[in-house]
Structure 1
């Protein structure tokens, strides 16, 4: 009876473990749309979405991602998978390979009575490797810089996909015609404090100076921090494309730079990252220190807003 009563609790009142238990059943239903013989389903404690490792009875391993209700639309998920599929076809970069449904769809939408809204689910092949933080080396960041530049070079050709801007201040900003308008900025200041105004003014000026030409702006990953790149046998793999969208290439690099700012050897790691990037894209404003610092300031504000209102 206690378990039955627990299942009657509103989804919003459950902790992360409770929500994951509910979503596990939804994930099991989603997997019936795929030609994957499931042997075991294991929750993964990474990222804002709920993800599960899927061990197949065929010996293969996969990752199933259950989207947040406030996450990208089905069309936007299709666009993300279109880029991943193109990267798999056209490059040798190590990225997650999408698994289509039985009906050759890139994603499936599943409902469960214990979850208040239908969820979009996507399945991908598992990517081998280790996530690192304190033990990151300049050599590894150099390789990540190379990979980032190659992602940008490929993303520059991926025009017209249904993905938003990665540098909008918040979910509120993304819902506006101009995600960096005065109204959006004032709302950010009201939430995060007057001290963010200078950082926002600085990045607005940098964005205006850079412009939006294909040499500085295109489809980017949007979240290249330590939980979205990993290392295996000397190669860098990039995962976590759920935040991909259009933005300045410098923003993508700034996300990585900001994420390593707590490390004591951050200066060496930063230089190695930028050297690796320049080895592939030598003539670029993306590695300019002033430009990077401005976008790093924007990233800090975005994360601050996300923590304050839970929707940024």
Structure 2
């Protein structure tokens, strides 16, 4: 049988469906129906229980989050729900008190971790409006204000984001000349070095827990309210890093998008005091992380896009190195 990573998307989802169903049952959910909703970095299914309640059940297909890290992620979500106005899903705790389940399947080469949370009403934002960018700024600042006084309990771990790849294996550095256009290796090396200097500078501020992935795909909008989900990339970073990540996705999206984010943030909290060139490097560093993540992915569609995205990444990074401004419009 072909390796999981070599299968097409439909075949991968078919193999993961029973994994999600088993994981949901181990977490105490009585599964009446299960429907795939997203097959990307991780794979999410919508589970309807026998009590007609809906849950998001996620199979960690590419995530490297460990059970202690998942416990810390869920602890922060619970704290945000109790102590702030931020709307987040409620993580499911299994009968044994664990917030994740590990499922083995003979058809797969390795065990998969499964987590579940209550289903959020509304639609994924995708490309946000000006109102939504403002609300994202408000929500992010509220989360940062909360994080200044919150940290995981003893035994709970979260990664430290003090370098551009967030601790992932650097697959970009191992690419050969045949994988890259002329000068591509030099662009990646120069971009990484400049980005690392920015991380060093930004990390002079006290680190706090950040979401690490606040973009339209991890936000929902319902009755004019914003909700945040997918805390899988949470870790100790800087407030500027969260802002830079969101700015990466908003860059050149529409006029006023970035200003809306900043204005919403400033309504709740001062902007980080950081040199604009350093902040721009934090924005560009997201390109390095995403290109590297695609090279490591086992998801069919992401693997298919990896080489083309690498070339796009080099062009964008070259433009940033040459002009000082990062853009995704190239």
- Report if TM-score (shorter chain) is over 0.5: yes
Deviates more, 1:71-80 or 1:277-286: 277-286
- In structure 1, what is the equivalent of residue 302 of structure 2? none
- In structure 1, what is the equivalent of residue 323 of structure 2? none
Between the aligned partners of 1:47 and 1:220, the Cα distance in structure 2 is: 22
Out of 239, 260, 268, the residue aligned to residue 272 of structure 1 is 260
Matched, 1:206 2:198: yes
CA contact (8 A) 1:54 1:64 kept: yes
Between the aligned partners of 1:189 and 1:110, the Cα distance in structure 2 is: 33
- In structure 2, what is the equivalent of residue 187 of structure 1? 173
Between the aligned partners of 1:50 and 1:186, the Cα distance in structure 2 is: 25
CA contact (8 A) 1:168 1:174 kept: no
CA RMSD after TM alignment: 2.6
Q: How far apart are residue 262 of structure 1 and its match?
A: 4.9
Deviates more, 1:146-155 or 1:289-298: 289-298
Between the aligned partners of 2:81 and 2:229, the Cα distance in structure 1 is: 13
Between the aligned partners of 2:197 and 2:163, the Cα distance in structure 1 is: 15
SS at match of 2:208: strand
SS at match of 1:157: coil
Deviates more, 1:43-52 or 1:203-212: 203-212
Matched, 1:163 2:158: yes
- Once the two structures are superposed, residues 171-223 of structure 1 have per-residue CA deviations (whole angstroms, 9 ceiling, x without a partner) of 7x446xxxxxxxx6992787762113443333333333334433xx2111111
- Change over 3 Å in CA distance of 1:44–1:230 after alignment to 2: same
- Change over 3 Å in CA distance of 1:140–1:212 after alignment to 2: same
- In structure 1, what is the equivalent of residue 244 of structure 2? 254
SS at match of 1:98: coil
- In structure 2, what is the equivalent of residue 245 of structure 1? 235
SS at match of 1:32: helix
Between the aligned partners of 1:259 and 1:250, the Cα distance in structure 2 is: 15
Between the aligned partners of 1:142 and 1:69, the Cα distance in structure 2 is: 31
SS at match of 1:128: coil
Between the aligned partners of 1:112 and 1:310, the Cα distance in structure 2 is: 20
Q: TM-score, normalising length from structure 1? A: 0.83
CA contact (8 A) 1:69 1:117 kept: no
Between the aligned partners of 2:296 and 2:26, the Cα distance in structure 1 is: 35
Between the aligned partners of 1:108 and 1:34, the Cα distance in structure 2 is: 7
- Once the two structures are superposed, residues 249-299 of structure 1 have per-residue CA deviations (whole angstroms, 9 ceiling, x without a partner) of 111111111112252x1x40100100111111125326x643431111111
Matched, 1:18 2:45: no
Q: TM-score, normalising length from structure 2? A: 0.79
Q: How far apart are residue 19 of structure 1 and its match?
A: 1.5
- In structure 2, what is the equivalent of residue 227 of structure 1? 217
Q: How far apart are residue 246 of structure 1 and its match?
A: 1.4
What aligned pairs does 1:79-98 form with structure 2 within 5 A after superposition? Answer: 79-98=72-91
Show structure 1 runs of 5+ residues with no match: 1-7, 176-183
CA contact (8 A) 1:167 1:251 kept: no
- Change over 3 Å in CA distance of 1:164–1:188 after alignment to 2: farther
- In structure 1, what is the equivalent of residue 141 of structure 2? 149
Between the aligned partners of 2:205 and 2:197, the Cα distance in structure 1 is: 16
CA contact (8 A) 1:169 1:188 kept: no
